[in-house]
């Protein structure tokens, strides 16, 4: 970093609708608004990135096929692009979201940039530790890149503990939770009342995920089928993935398919969360549960799993209800309680909104990142002046 110049940060994440991609994009945008120069380095334009944002530059990673390669080597192409961007734009920090493959690529880029120092930050989001990282073919590499990053963060205390236990990591891992833009995810009572996704008098249950096994999508449909027996309601499914087809078939088998709407991926999540009367998230595990926080910010009560990081976000009995993700009866009973008790739903919504604003707003969380960056930048500047 040259004297008087804004800090320059390269950010890499998956360009998907998942929580890690959303958080990485939102973090970059808000850092740019605070004077940082942000360079997104990825294979595609990150989600929720506006058409133009001052201080934000996107660099596309391109891979080429070569006959001897069984697969295009994206992680190597990413490392090369990181090196190229870091050199040309004099980056100070490479901040990657997800250990595999992004932290491995940033490690390679750091070695290629020597002797010019650059700091690396790895943010762990979940399945990079709880699923991918545990694969025998990735385990040694995951542990190595965690140890080699200059700074390591995790989005929940649950994930920080999992990382230490699974990989026997001794280094410091700072917990910096995910956050929500409480100026975008806001209550919209009129929209909920005149909801275009339901008939007058109906209630709306919403589920949003990437429709993988871990999200327990079949339980969502089973809970909805039970609730439909006593309440006139509709289920909106937001997202896409391998479990979408099985969920649609299960809806037909249970006789509720005509009351289910599959919207696929959507950009207007703030409106959808504000429309919902209940957000249903019975995942096998969630390292944080960003979509639950977004619902809370819109004053929407959440019925969710009691696993992973969700109990850190949702206060059971106050901002929502938590249950064993396989207990369909308990999940259904809690959804019914919210639907049939407007006072309870209102109170939970207000408490959820207050928690989002007071604990998980951008202003609350981004300070932790900027302080971490400042510490790393001091080290980079010291190395550069010494060299």
pLDDT tens, 143-169?
899 999 999 999 999 999 999 988 888
Q: What number of other Cβ atoms are within 10 A of residue 228's Cβ? A: 19
What structural domains and CATH numbers belong to the chain?
Answer: 8-177+362-386 (3.40.50.2000), 189-359 (3.40.50.2000)
The tokens for 92 are 């100070």
The strand pair at 93-97 and 8-12 is best described as parallel
Q: How far apart are CA 167 and CA 165, in angstroms?
A: 6
Residue 95's closest CA among 124, 59, 54, 57? 124
Tell me the two tokens of residue 202. Answer: 């109906």
Rounded Cα gap, residues 235 and 354, in angstroms: 26
The per-residue pLDDT for 45 is 85
For the chain, give the percent of residues with pLDDT over 90. Answer: 71
Note down pLDDT in tens along the chain; length 387 residues: 444 567 899 999 987 666 778 889 999 999 999 999 999 999 888 877 766 788 999 999 988 766 666 666 889 999 999 999 999 999 999 999 988 889 999 999 999 999 999 999 999 987 666 555 466 678 888 889 999 999 999 999 999 999 998 888 888 999 999 999 999 999 999 988 888 898 888 999 999 999 999 999 999 999 999 999 999 999 999 999 999 999 999 999 999 999 999 999 888 899 999 999 999 999 998 999 999 999 999 999 999 999 999 999 999 999 999 999 999 999 999 999 999 999 999 999 999 999 999 999 998 899 999 999 998 988 777 666 665
Give CA–CA dist 167/157, Å, rounded.
15
Alpha-carbon dihedral 278, 267, 183, 155, rounded to 10 degrees? 80
Lay out the sheet containing 302-305: strands in order across: 260-264, 233-238, 203-208, 278-281, 302-305, 320-323
- pLDDT tens-digit series, residues 114-136: 999 999 999 998 766 655 546 66
């Amino acid at each position: 970093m040259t004297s008087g110049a804004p800090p320059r940060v390269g950010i890499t994440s998956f360009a998907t609708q998942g929580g890690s991609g959303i958080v990485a994009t939102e973090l970059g945008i808000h850092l740019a608004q605070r004077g940082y120069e942000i360079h997104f380095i990825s294979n595609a334009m990150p989600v929720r990135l506006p058409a133009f944002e001052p201080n934000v530059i996107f660099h596309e990673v391109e891979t080429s096929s070569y006959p001897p390669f069984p697969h295009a080597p994206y992680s190597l192409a990413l490392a090369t692009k990181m090196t190229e961007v870091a050199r040309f734009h004099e980056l100070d920090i490479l901040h990657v979201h997800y250990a595999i493959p992004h932290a491995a690529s940033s490690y390679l880029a750091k070695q290629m940039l020597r002797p010019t120092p650059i700091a690396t930050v790895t943010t762990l989001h979940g399945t990079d530790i709880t699923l991918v990282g545990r694969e025998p073919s990735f385990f040694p590499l995951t542990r190595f890149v965690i140890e080699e990053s200059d700074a390591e963060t995790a989005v929940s205390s649950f994930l920080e503990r999992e990382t230490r236990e699974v990989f026997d990591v001794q280094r410091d891992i700072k917990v910096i939770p995910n956050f929500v833009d409480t100026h975008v995810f806001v209550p919209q009572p009129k929209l909920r009342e005149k909801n275009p996704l339901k008939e007058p008098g109906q209630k709306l249950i919403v589920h949003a995920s990437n429709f993988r096994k871990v999200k327990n999508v079949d339980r969502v449909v089973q809970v909805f089928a039970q609730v439909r027996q006593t309440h006139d309601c509709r289920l909106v499914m937001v997202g896409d993935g391998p479990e979408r087809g099985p969920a649609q078939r299960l809806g037909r088998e249970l006789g509720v398919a005509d009351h289910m709407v599959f919207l696929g991926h959507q950009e207007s999540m703030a409106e959808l969360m504000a429309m919902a009367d209940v957000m249903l998230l019975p995942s096998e595990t969630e390292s944080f549960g960003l979509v639950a926080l977004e619902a809370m910010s819109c004053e929407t009560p959440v019925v969710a799993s009691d696993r992973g990081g969700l109990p850190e976000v949702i206060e059971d009995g106050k901002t929502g209800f938590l249950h064993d993700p396989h207990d369909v009866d308990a999940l259904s009973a809690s959804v019914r309680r919210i639907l049939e008790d407007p006072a309870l739903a209102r109170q939970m919504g207000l408490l959820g909104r207050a928690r989002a604003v007071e604990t998980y707003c951008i202003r609350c969380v981004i300070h932790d990142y900027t302080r971490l960056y400042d510490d790393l930048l001091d080290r980079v500047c010291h190395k550069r002046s010494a060299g």
